[in-house]
Chain A
Amino acid sequence: MDIELSKEDLDFEAEVRGFLKENAYTGGDAEAWRMNWFEKAREKGNWDVPKWPVKFGGPGWTPNQHFVWQKETARAGTPWDMPFGLSMLGPVLMAHGSEEQQQRFLPDIRARKVNWCQGYSEPGAGSDLASLKTKAELSEDGSHYVVNGTKIWTTMAHIADWIFCLTRTSDAGIKQEGITFLLFPMKQDGVEIKPIITLGGSHTVNTVFFSDVKVPVENRVGEEGKGWTYAKGLLEHERTGIAGISNSIVALEGLKNKARSVKRGNGSLMDVPSFRAKVAELEVDLMAVEYTELRSLATASAGTAPGPESSILKLKGTDIQQRIQKLTMEAGGQFSAAWGGTNAGPDFARAGMGGYMSSRVYTIYGGASEVQKDIVTKKVLGIKSSKK
């Protein structure tokens, strides 16, 4: 057992720091900076796609290097990026797409040119995703599918160019069979998007209606009826990403600084025993989960889907993210309730309650916590339900 970073790792760390410093945003056209950043990262050694395997142009980092990257980018900040193409669809195409599909879609994903959205959930299929009903019927000549149905909670559907979509092609057999993984453009007739406003007041999710959308068969990933298997691997990828542990470490530092800026008596809020204790408990949990992630990183070899232990990371990681938001709201005191308009109170309080409300989704999307616990029950504890 050894957790010291090697000399090579430390050199790498210095290199990453240098790169992030050199390319930090200094004002001006943010979108131009963003595109340039990814270009520079690519030139640096395929740092624009850290998690992609070497075969598909990734840097082939060791687990330690991934750890260093995560830690440093959380601190320095990186350009805005969407996970859907890069971290969700990408790995599915690499594992199950045809060579033609890989060549067609991966370069644009990598270049951040095409935005994707994830069309899994439906009004009747949330936690029980396999019960999805969006129908895809193969045309008589076998050239295309005709898609009809409704997706819900589709993040960024309103700005996405393409969707990767789970559809039902057969009702025979168990419900996990008969699901087919299709790719098609969002900006076409027959695709209608309705915004859903969430409690923070923002518009990120949508309901999406498909009526007679034609999808050429070459846009089917893998075999008809095997979409569930492909999607399951993808969900496990999503679950590690969602834990956001490096970000939480940075956010916790931020929380402490905020609390120190709030005056209480002769000291600050960080001197108030009850508040300080809550921050300390949070930090202890975070210290542990950081190493849970490291342990999981150490066993995962790059490119393969992380195993069921990733469920623990999502559960713990999202709990920590939510507690940080809650304590930040608390540190803002009653000013956290203001919806703009006030000058009094700390600046960070402005979005306090909005931020807290928005954080409630962390334990719902990407597999709700209760369902994650079911997975751990079955896959890790090995408990099978005994039907009587």
Chain B
Amino acid sequence: MAFKYKLLKAIDVAGLQVFDPVVRLCYGEEPKLQLRRIGLFIVIPLLTLAAFVALWAYVGPRHKTKAGEVPSPAVVLQAGQDTWRFDAWEDTKAADYKRAGQDREQALAAVNARIEELEPQAEQAAAQLAEVEDAYRTQLMEQVKPLYDEYRQMRVDFRDESQRREAELEDRAAHLSGSVAEREAFLDALREHRQWEEGEKAELAAFKDQIGEIEDAKAPELEAARAQSNDLGQELQYLRKRRDQLTSDNLSLKLADAEQRLEQREQAFLQASSGEEALSLANQILAEEAAMERIETSTYAKPWTLPDQIMRSILCVFTGFVLASIIAIPIGILCGLNRVFMAAMTPLISLFKPVSPIVWLPIVFIIVGGFIPEPSDSALLDFFNAIPVLGAYDVNPAFLSSAITVALCSLWPTLVNTALGVAAIDKDHINVARVLRLGFWSRLVKIVVPSALPLIFAGLRISLGVGWMVLIAAELLSSSEGIGKFVWDMFNNGSSQTFAQMFVVVFVVGLIGLLLDRIMIVFQRLVSFDGAPTAL
């Protein structure tokens, strides 16, 4: 029983009240009521979501532009899977690089077996694709050729007829008499000729559009063959790269080679006769030793993949958020405590608050660049890269610029809320402090800040939301590796999956935003003392 209430309390604190009826139902508490609540707060939202997906699945493929069509949920799911597969493949390649001994041999055997299995399949698929493509092309040509011929004939006829008519008109114009009626009739004839020309042209264009439509018509068979051949080709490419990673590019083999070379040199050095030769060989030995050291610490240079980029984005927004808090909370407290300071800050706050990240970023970029003249040799960067988790994600000027931009755009809600929370402190609490004769600092720490904390956290929560939104734009502009860079890269790829990948990003960004918000809600609930509910 006690556990039940603890669980319910935890759910409540975590902001997951929707699951409250589920827990209660499990404990058999008022099943009817709980079922009704589940219906209202879980089933209905799920149904809405399902309706949204259904609507999307229906409308998406029917909305086409030349750049592509709105991807259906299935296509988006596929794109998501492909993105994750890319990451998994790269991880495997990196792991292969480090494999040694039996592990390496086993992996190699598996890879070779799979290659052997796939190669004939791929060949067959390629042959089939070529066949389908040929068939498609000849069929298309057969269909289109006579139409083109007809079109050409039409154009020739049109040209000839047009020339004939124009010559006729010219002739008529040359023999025009002074009669008004005749001149009017001529004008009419010319007008009629122009109309006829327009009509013919329109007819030609319509005919050509018809041809175009046939040419542009989708060929599902061809596309399927292409997709199949493509999938096989892709996997084979991956397997061949793996084979390289397990053989010629393998760390353990390279080390063995280097060792062998070192030994050769050492042998030669022992037998060196002249001083010159000995010196040269000794030098070579040192160089070889250095090379071996380098090989030992080398890793496969894995490209940035979405999961890594997500992690880096989260770290970036966190860095910016911490920075924003460090700036906003003290200034907010000062504003709340001192009306003069508040008055002094108000114009600055109002001025900078609405500035967009797109404007901040270039400015920040220049300023950060000023602090980091040489990225490969910068104490500031070294400092950040020495921070445990952060350091693994390569802090560079672009990262710092993005983080600072996030901070600049997201500090305002925290600042304003802190000022408000401090200024609106209950007079009774101040009276307590006065009676106890608390000094400035204890008053701040024991009375002012705790009483403003719920509002400060409400501000922080908004700040984090804003920061997350801003970050994507900042990363995109600064091309700092992260979700923003992923978006820009995928957009630049202009592949058939580009649209779908944008949708993947929509969901990834949304989900992480949701998660961050939930975390902030938990904090907010932990510091709220009046039991006031936090917004959804």
A and B bind: no
The residues of B with any CB-CB pair to A shorter than 8 Å are: none
The residues of A with any CB-CB pair to B shorter than 8 Å are: none
